[in-house]
Structure 1
Amino acid sequence: MWKMKPSIALSVHFTVLLLTLSSRGSSPAGKETFSWVTLPATANLTWTPCFDTFQCTKLALPLQYSDPEAGEAQIALIMSPSNYSSNDPNYLGSVLFNPGGPGGSGVSFVQELGPYFRAVIGPQYDLIGFDPRGIGQSTPVLSLFKSPPEALEFYSTYPQNVNESISSFGRFYAQANILGKLAVDRYPTIAESVSTAAVATDMLNIAKALGQDKVNYWGVSYGSILGATFAAMFPDNVGRFIIDGVFNSHQWYQGDWSSSLLDTDDALTAVYDACVEAGPSLCALHDKSSDLIRARVNKLIDSLHVAPLAVYDDSDPSNISFGVADYTVIVLQIFQMLYTPFASGQVIFEALAALEQGNASAIWQGSVTMANDVDLATCNFNASQPFVVGFLDISAPIACGDIIADEDRVRTSDEAKSDYQRMADASSTFATTWYPLSEGRCAQWPIKAKDAFNGSFTQNTSTPILLITNTHDPVTPMVGALNMSSGFTGSIVLQQNSTGHTSLSGFSTCTAEAIHAYFANGTLPAVGTLCQTDTRIFENPSNSSGYTGVTITPLKRSAEDYSLGEAARALAGSNFLAKSAGFFGRRW
């Protein structure tokens, strides 16, 4: 029985489902002794060797900038040092990274992909990943659930699709109420201390601790909101600044996600078009037209909505696996494929072709439902650390607390349904799963951030910003980049002519060269630049050996051993964005 690798179909939401790079607080087996848990936080940056070639530290900052008595936040940072010393004229400072989320670990982002970022950016910078407050190795940690059984009780019934059954929307609304009450009763101070504005202020303080006046930055997905917020709050401190996969920050602070799916259906059509072009030897669902492929996929979706299929694998009697492939599973799998179609499109289409033959194993294996339930049911977590089950623990306090609302923040059931319908007007298929994991999670969130953003996105920044957008991005449509660019004087929008979430989802030497030039000497691409990709979504023979390039295996090579093209290809083949966008899952 052919099985999809579990790492392929992790999950999506703004660009960290199952960050298994390293367990929270300790080094990998066989490495030098290093512990995040015992690493002290200081008011300045005291770097400690960690993870072979990196350096780590924790920076002590106020938990709330508006209330110095509220406590302390300890921000974890990891650095891949520049080849040049700080007094060398070739040294250009540091670049901060954010992988999205909200809830993505910048520490893991740089630790996992640092050599590739180095090849794209060059040797002149220190590359620094940081875990935003409440996330990953930073403390205090956002953790709404006390134990795996409690989390399993909540997540096993939380609707990942509000159209699965007649009661799905009502159940989602009820559980959103529970989530808000847990935050109020258990961690109200932490929940109101993790705003995007607070993290932007942290970025400025990191730069100051480094002795640098300006912040150089590369943020993707939600990282575009963080970057835009920083630029709005501190326009005179903007260095070389890239925001990629750009969400409309005006709408973010209104809690309005209705435009996020504007390009989603077009993104799926683009994948269908690629399948038609690739031919039957490369695309398992090949047909004469995109409309015919769409009809076949819609038939599968409708079929599983009415009659889910059992999955039962007893090939190993000592380890029998089973589950149900239903409407939610297939919609989620297709939606998450749209995040990284170059990395996962081919294997998902093979799974859909198998489903047409009555074999649901491939579409179910590795699904969010399977991965999350197995981990929670087996108590697969680090018992020595606070239990953090995943996406809603971390993302809701940030996204919902950011919303600017003077009136009652809680939506009635009818108001929530109206919000959902606005999103469904853009994509009726994918709003069903996107709404409860984006705008909907805030429907009954009562806590507003203490350090809330209250600024303007019309700014003349000290350095012009480079915004990057894909032609077909499933959750951050191109209009978001155009909207945000209109407010930042001198900024440029670079369009990558590809499908997927952020430019990192597709391999483009053109885009990589533009990023390199911008960080090297501040050169912006020409207005209207359109970068083509170097590869296609369907390139390998169907059913040849399954997809093998989903996760980058760290190589014992220096960054200089990678060409710009190799680095761009490796980033496009990584599943980090899919992990970063996790619907559910553990974060360490």
Structure 2
Amino acid sequence: MRTATGLLVLSATLLGAASARQLARRDAPFDWSSLNSSANLSWTPCYDAFQCARFTVPLQYSNTSAGESQIALIMSPSNFSTGDPNYLGSILFNPGGPGGSGVQYILEMGPYFRAIIGPQYDLVGFDPRGVGATTPPLSVFASAAEALQFYATYPLNVNDSVSSLARAYVQGGILGNLTVDRAKDVAESVGTAAVATDMLQISRALGQEKVNYWGVSYGSILGATFAAMFPQNVGRLIIDGVSDSHQWYFGTQDTSSMLDTDGVVASIYAACVAAGPSLCPIWENSTALVDARVDRALNALRVAPQPIFNDTDPAATTFAVADYAAAFDGLFESIYFPYSEGPVAAAAIAALEQGDGSLVYGLSTEAGLTAISQDCTGSSGPFGVGFLDIVAPVLCGDALIDRRRSLAQAREDYAAMRNLSVFADVWYPTSIEACATWPIQAKDIFNGSFQTNTSTPILLIGNTFDPVTPIQSARNMSAGFGGSVVLQQNSTGHTSLSGFSTCTALAIREYFQNGTLPAAGTVCQPDTAIFEAPNNSSASGGVTISLRDEAALGLREAKRALGDGTAFLKRTWFPRWA
């Protein structure tokens, strides 16, 4: 029997890509509880070169007597003091989710954001309500063992068996009941409108009436909500990998996220064909043949799943099963960041053809969820996974219409989504199906319009092919924000960070430094192909960079590092929206 050598190689590959670019993570523990929380920000040195603080806000803005929340913040300080004319203020960041940690985002990726944006800003990440070091935590499960018990049996593919969709429906109801019993007050307080209001309060505590912001994926929902709620307080605001906020709040069931998913896969297969067999291990001479080859490899697991044993690393998962559901999910996960993970996924499929399923299993959400088991021994007390237990309270709690559905209606919703993409099999159970039985609505609700003129025009960014945030959503949202511009990055993957485009990086820098938007209709080319030999990319994707601008020469590497690092971070967070 094969060992999990391939799984270990995958981990080394992803970690190596990050460490090769000197990912900024600081592993030394930091005691957030040692910081006093107040409505006035008081910064304390943390994680070597960063500053940390806890900021007090009402648990509910609609009922300030309901209690308080303490928001965890981290800052990468500007090179300039606040009195220096070169200082431009602070930028808030959100990495998506819902459930992504803004603290971890800046801790890991701050140096690369700095390389793109420049030294004039403080870069500020915050853990949204219910996430990370922010308190009170959204703790649905009593322990890591209980969380594992729930998620180990949760279907990640509702087309895997005749009962899988029904099981996901029933387990979603269990999650809702657990949340009502154990965390209702917190779950009611984590909605997007409350977090958007937190952003304004944080910015004011930083001495700014206007909020500068860069949010990706779900962070685009948060950014658009902020702009709609507080249009007069919009500073330089970028939303990247844009979701349709109209559907988020008002849609019964949103299928728009899957508009381009199959196009993403087709473009990756086309890149494989163009690269040739020396660079793409699943090469065939047409996209259709690559597609058929991948289907054969995956479908073989329906009949004969592959056992995986790890006898080399006692700290890792001891055993697993590479079945069709895990492999198909792994393929879906890889198309989020094809420039980082496309070659890994192709190698995984090739290995699968040879009887080694460990690589393709390592790409799956299931492989990430098994990490929970590493915490089970001796673990007790409230435990938050940050998967459906944070996605559902935000996604479903934000809804302005009743999204609860019967099982029969849920089957119809899934069928409608699957008409757009076969990847509905893995998207549906980890996103909108949770709302079919969700019992809690957020206390602070946005019920306004996305038709407004903001005090500063917004920059929206979208890829030509994005698996879950199609560029059409960026255009739909831009139509409501007067003066806004959509920048199209002609690449494949989720958010512009998934590809490497110096053109896009320069546009972002110009916007944050000078407030200058790219011309309407601008299309930025990527610097690299998905499958290519090392060091075989153009320097600037067709954009001329002045040689006197030495900082600009590092933009491509910074953008690449952001893509690799964000892909790695996504594998430490479970929410699919991220």
What does 1:187-586 correspond to in 2, within 5 Å?
187-255=183-251, 256-314=253-311, 321-365=318-362, 367-376=364-373, 378-379=375-376, 386-405=382-401, 407=402, 409-428=403-422, 430-540=423-533, 563-574=554-565, 575-576=567-568, 578-579=570-571, 582-583=574-575
**Counterparts in 2 of 1:375 and 1:21: CA distance versus 1, 3 Å:** farther
**What's the counterpart of residue 152 of structure 2?**
156
**CA 1:437 to 1:318, structure 2 compared with 1: closer, same or farther past 3 Å?**
closer
Give the C-alpha shift of residue 309 in structure 1.
Answer: 2.1
Alpha-carbon shift at residue 378 of structure 1 (Å): 4.9
Per-residue deviation, residues 338-379 of structure 1 (Å, max 9, x unmatched): 111111110110110111122222212353323422532652
Distance verdict in 2 for CA 1:185–1:569, change over 3 Å: same
Q: Matched residues in 2 for 1:318 and 1:524: separation?
A: 49
**Cα separation, partners in 2 of 1:59 and 1:173, compared to 1, 3 Å:** same
Q: 1:113 and 1:462 mapped to 2: Cα distance?
A: 29
Q: Which has the higher helix share?
A: 2
Structure 2 partner of 1:52 = 48
CA deviation after TM superposition for structure 1 residue 460, in Å:
0.3
Please tell me the residue identity of whatever aligns with 1:152: L
- After superposition, the Cα gap between the structure-2 partners of 1:243 and 1:378, relative to the gap in structure 1 and judged at 3 Å, is closer
Aligned-residue offset at 1:386: 3.7
CA deviations on 1:32-62 (whole Å, 9 max, x unpaired) are xx41122111110001011111101011000
User: 1:280-339 deviations in whole A, cap 9, x for unaligned?
Assistant: 111100110111000011122222223322223446799893221111111111101111
SS at the partner of 2:198? helix
Shift of 1:419: 1.3
In 2, the alpha carbon distance for the partners of 1:180 and 1:141 equals 17
Letter of the 2:113 partner, please give it.
F
Secondary structure class of the residue paired with 2:482? coil
Residues 271, 341 of structure 1: 8 Å contact kept: yes
The separation in 1 between residues aligned to 2:421 and 2:555, in whole angstroms, is: 36
What does 1:67-82 align with in structure 2 at a 5 Å threshold? 67-82=63-78
Per the alignment, residue 544 of structure 1 pairs with none
1:528-573 C-alpha deviation (Å, 9 max, x unpaired): 10100111111248xxxxxxxxxxxxxxxxx979822221121122
Return closer, same or farther for 1:519/1:318 CA change in 2, 3 Å cut-off. closer
Distance in 1, matches of 2:254 and 2:315, equals 46
Farther-moved stretch of structure 1 (297-306 vs 224-233): 297-306
Distance 1:187 1:580 in 2: 24
Give yes or no for contact 1:7–1:366 (8 Å, CA) kept in 2.
no
Which residue of structure 1 aligns with residue 166 of structure 2? 170
Aligned counterparts of 1:320 and 1:123: Cα–Cα separation in 2: 42
Alpha-carbon distance between aligned partners in 2 of 1:192 and 1:455, rounded to the nearest angstrom: 19
**Residue in 1 aligned with 2:18?**
none
Amino acid aligned to 1:466: L
Give the deviation of 1:394 after TM superposition. Answer: 1.3
The AA in structure 2 aligned to 1:343 is S
Distance 1:176 1:489, change over 3 A: same
Cα distance, 1:300–1:8 mapped onto 2, change above 3 Å:
farther
Aligned to 2:6: 3
Conservation of the 8 A alpha-carbon contact between 1:9 and 1:366 = no
Aligned to 2:20: none
Q: Once the 2 structures are TM-superposed, how far is the Cα of residue 8 of structure 1 from its aligned partner?
A: 8.0
Contact 1:200 1:230 in 2 (8 A): yes
Which of 110, 123, 126 pairs up with 1:127? 123
Alignment-mate amino acid for residue 468 of structure 1:
I
- Cα distance change, pair 160–583 in 1 and its aligned pair in 2 (3 A): farther
SS at match of 1:481: helix
State the distance in 2 between where 1:352 and 1:566 align: 28
Change over 3 Å in CA distance of 1:446–1:235 after alignment to 2:
same
State the partner residue of 1:39.
Answer: 35
Q: Can you list the C-alpha shifts for 1:470-510, whole angstroms capped at 9, x where unaligned?
A: 00100000110000000000000000000000000000000
Higher mean C-alpha displacement, 247-256 vs 385-394:
385-394
Deviation by residue 1:399-439 (Cα, 9 ceiling, x = unmatched): 1100112x5x42110111111112111102x1011001111
Shift in Å at residue 579 of structure 1?
A: 3.2
How many Å separate the matches in 2 of 1:235 and 1:319?
49
**What is the distance in 2 between the residues matched to 1:100 and 1:46?**
26
List gaps (5 residues or longer) in structure 1. 11-19, 542-558
1:278, 1:539 within 8 Å by CA — same for their partners in 2?
yes
Distance 2:505 2:166 in 1: 46
User: Is 2:188–2:443's contact at 8 Å kept on the other side of the alignment?
Assistant: yes
Normalising by structure 1, we get a TM-score of 0.89
Structural mapping, 1:178-193, within 5 Å? 178-193=174-189
**Distance in structure 2 (CA, Å) of the matches to 1:577 and 1:469:** 20
**Amino acid corresponding to residue 149 of structure 1 in structure 2:** A
Q: Which amino acid letter does the alignment assign opposite residue 419 of structure 1?
A: D
CA contact (8 A) 2:172 2:437 kept: yes
Q: Contact conserved, 1:508 with 1:534, CA < 8 A, in 2?
A: yes
Which residue of the partner structure matches residue 85 of structure 2? Answer: 89
With the length of structure 2 as denominator, give the TM-score of the two structures. Answer: 0.90
SS at match of 1:217: strand
CA distance in 2, matches of 1:268, 1:464: 33
SS of the aligned residue for 2:335 comes to helix
Letter in 2 for 1:411: R
